[in-house]
Amino acid sequence: MKTILTGIRANSVLTLGNYLGALLPMVRLANKYSKTGEYQINIFAPDLHSIISEVDGDLQENILRTVKYYLAAGLEINDNVHIYRQSRVSAHSELCWILNCVATMGETARMTQYKEKSEGRESCNVAIFDYPILMAADILLYSASYVPIGEDQFQHIELTRNLATRFNNRFKEVFVVPVKTSEQVKFMGTDEGIRIRDLLNPEKKMSKSTKAENSKIMLDDAPERAAKKIMSATTDSLGKVKFDMWAQPGISNLLQIEALTTGVPLAEVTAAWAGETRYGELKKQVASSVADMLRDFQTRLAEVSDAQVYELLEVGEKYANEIANAKLLEVQKAVGLR
């Protein structure tokens, strides 16, 4: 059986970027493949990754809410869908250490996320540097071939592939190498990775850490408020709707959001709006789609109970420990620790 695996840090309420870039694609893939009998679906809360940076409020509550997000987004549960917390499976930390012995300082220092997070700081914690190695352990322990994530994380998949290949060559063929990011996007059903842009500054990705409230839509925003944020999004002065992320990032972002929130393929949305000169019309449409989506999502979220989540975690963590410990033992034997 092949494995599809992903995780989202639970440091705060998530953004529309997390939702459209990672959560929703995972839910769509899970619902499509979990019933075929050929795929295992692993969704986990990377809580060890969470404590690397500041957590907004209580971590336990954030984890609970993030798991609920998947259910509210329509994740269908069956025997092939597993949900667990990273810190409840100690093999993640143990494999991270072993992979640290295979990874080089150079390749880890090249990671954009590390460079961005450490730049200009007098000091930063070691975990910011080690972040992608733990991520590689998260993936390799479960032999995951597919890892649905946003475009900002692609570098980490390539690093994971390099580490797995190096380990297999140096010791023994124990790891399944995840597929290339170009294949990942095909599997996700998109032509390229998804990067939802900052509404005010569309050259940048939408991020929870950006201060300006109107630059991002949070999943707990009132639908009317979210609609207003779309209406005030930065566009351009070219006066013609076209999908072109380089020349018209603001407009392209709106088209992308429209496609993902409605489930209509981007090519169709783009064709329907091609040549439109009134940006206000496009904004009104996107604002209404986002508001509708949030309204539905928030209603469903309120219906998911804590008990439901804890039950899923209990079953999921039993499964995860079995798979991860078996893989860890193979690795320990390969390097001579057992």
- How far is the C-alpha of 43 from the C-alpha of 36, rounded, in Å? 18
Residue 196 touches ligand TYM, criterion: CB under 6 A: yes
117 in active site: yes
Stretch that binds ligand TYM, among 76-84, 97-105, 144-152, 179-187 (CB under 6 A): 144-152
205 in active site: yes
Query: What values do phi and psi take at 193, rounded to 5?
Result: -65, 155
3-state class (DSSP) for residue 3: strand
Cα distances from 97 to residues 109, 304, 332, in angstroms, run: 17, 37, 11
Residue 137 touches ligand TYM, criterion: CB under 6 A: no
**Three-state SS across 187-198?**
HHCCCCCCCCEC
Q: Which of 68, 205, 216, 327 is catalytic?
A: 205
Of the two residues 205 and 283, which places its CB atom closer to ligand TYM in the complex? 205
Question: Residue 141 CB, nearest distance to ligand TYM (Å)?
Answer: 10
CA contacts within 13 A on the Cβ side of 141: 31
- How far is the C-alpha of 258 from the C-alpha of 122, rounded, in Å? 41
208 in active site: yes
Residue 96 contacts residue 48 (beta carbons within 8 Å): no
Structure tokens, 59: 């971590």
Residue 92 contacts residue 141 (beta carbons within 8 Å): yes
Lay out the site mask for ligand TYM across 42-81 (x = CB under 6 A, - = otherwise): ----x--x--------------------------------
Structure tokens, 250: 């603001």
Question: Residue 338 CB, nearest distance to ligand TYM (Å)?
Answer: 25
Residue 143 touches ligand TYM, criterion: CB under 6 A: no
Question: Residue 273 CB, nearest distance to ligand TYM (Å)?
Answer: 21
Question: Residue 14 CB, nearest distance to ligand TYM (Å)?
Answer: 8
Enzyme catalytic residues: 117, 205, 208
Chain residues in the site for ligand TYM (CB under 6 A): 5-9, 17-18, 21-22, 46, 49, 135, 138-139, 147, 149-150, 152-153, 194-196, 205-206
